């Protein structure tokens, strides 16, 4: 079962806050007066109803979590290998949510434009609806990919070669990839250093298997971004479902704060703790 955590968190915050406000305005004085009339200890406040007491205790914590998660930073975990070698299965990342605009929780309405993705950014976003499917079961699922194309760019991908505005993106072979635990499934693939118009990052391509996800020339419209996984032959991205609209942006992946490979008996990779996303 899928739970809408932002909605639940927002509703709980509103509920506990309302309980606290209503009690403060309508019942607290009468309760204290009744306590005094019964000869209660003046140094001890009247006992609050259980729901009120719990709401007063929980509300500040929920409010802090809501503000922090909605407007500042949010943790995500990496469940797949589409961003190997830069993000591994088992990485837990911190996403800067004010990199690409401040949005109201649940309503997802932007209230302050704080910036937009730059070429080479590792971006977290909600997957756009696949126009090839009448009912897209993954619509609304959160993805993390690298921003390859900006509004107005012309992008194409053919025979394992990426083109931006008609120019082939340079890549240089580094070595055969060797991964740890679940990420070792990509062992033997070719590790390249790609120069994305001045921004360099590592990426993987198959060494002996055929090409995949060829994309014809696509011109990005206003507010559209072309996203690709760094594991080029094992990534569902804009080559499949097209550009990502601005409204789907969540934030920029900034740091890896923990690594726990639950698929391999809780394998922890210490050298990835508190490292910057490349």
What is the per-residue pLDDT for 269? 67
> Catalytic: 208?
no
Q: Which CATH class is domain 78-276?
A: mainly beta
What is the per-residue pLDDT for 1? 40
Domains in the chain: boundaries: 5-72, 78-276
pTM for the whole structure: 0.79
Q: 55, 82, 235, 238: which is the annotated catalytic residue?
A: 82
**Per-residue confidence in pLDDT tens, the chain, 278 aa:** 445 677 788 889 899 999 999 998 988 888 888 878 887 777 788 888 999 999 998 998 888 888 877 777 888 889 899 999 999 998 999 999 888 987 777 667 777 788 899 999 999 999 988 766 666 766 678 899 999 999 999 999 998 899 999 999 999 999 999 888 888 888 889 999 999 989 999 999 986 655 556 678 999 999 999 999 999 999 999 999 999 999 899 999 999 988 887 766 556 667 788 899 98
Q: Are 200 and 172 in contact (CB under 8 A)?
A: no
Q: 97, 126, 145, 171: which is the annotated catalytic residue?
A: 145
> Catalytic: 82?
yes
């Amino acid at each position: 079962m899928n739970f809408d955590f932002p909605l639940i968190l927002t509703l709980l915050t509103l509920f506990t806050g309302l309980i606290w406000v209503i009690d403060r305005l309508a019942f607290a004085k009468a309760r204290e007066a009744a306590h005094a009339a019964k000869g209660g200890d003046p140094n001890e406040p009247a006992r609050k109803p259980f729901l009120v007491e719990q709401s007063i205790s929980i509300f500040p914590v929920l409010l802090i979590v809501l503000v922090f998660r909605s407007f500042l930073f949010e943790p995500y975990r990496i469940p797949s290998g589409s961003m190997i070698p830069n993000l591994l299965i088992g990485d837990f990342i911190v996403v800067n949510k004010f990199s690409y605009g401040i949005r109201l929780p649940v309503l997802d309405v932007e209230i302050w434009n704080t910036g937009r993705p730059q070429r080479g950014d590792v971006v977290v976003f909600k997957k756009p609806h696949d126009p090839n499917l009448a009912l897209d079961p993954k619509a609304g699922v959160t993805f993390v990919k690298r921003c390859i194309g900006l509004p107005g760019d012309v992008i194409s991908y053919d025979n394992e070669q990426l083109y931006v505005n008609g120019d082939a993106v340079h890549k240089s072979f580094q070595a055969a990839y060797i991964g740890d635990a679940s990420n070792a499934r990509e062992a033997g693939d070719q590790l390249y250093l790609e120069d994305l118009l001045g921004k360099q990052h590592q990426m993987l391509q198959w060494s002996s298997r055929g090409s995949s996800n060829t994309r014809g020339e696509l011109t990005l419209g206003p507010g559209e971004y072309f996203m690709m996984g760094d594991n080029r032959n094992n990534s569902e991205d804009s080559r499949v479902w097209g550009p990502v609209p601005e409204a789907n942006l969540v934030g920029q992946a900034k740091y890896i704060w923990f690594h726990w490979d639950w698929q391999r008996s809780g394998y922890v990779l210490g050298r990835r703790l508190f490292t910057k996303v490349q």
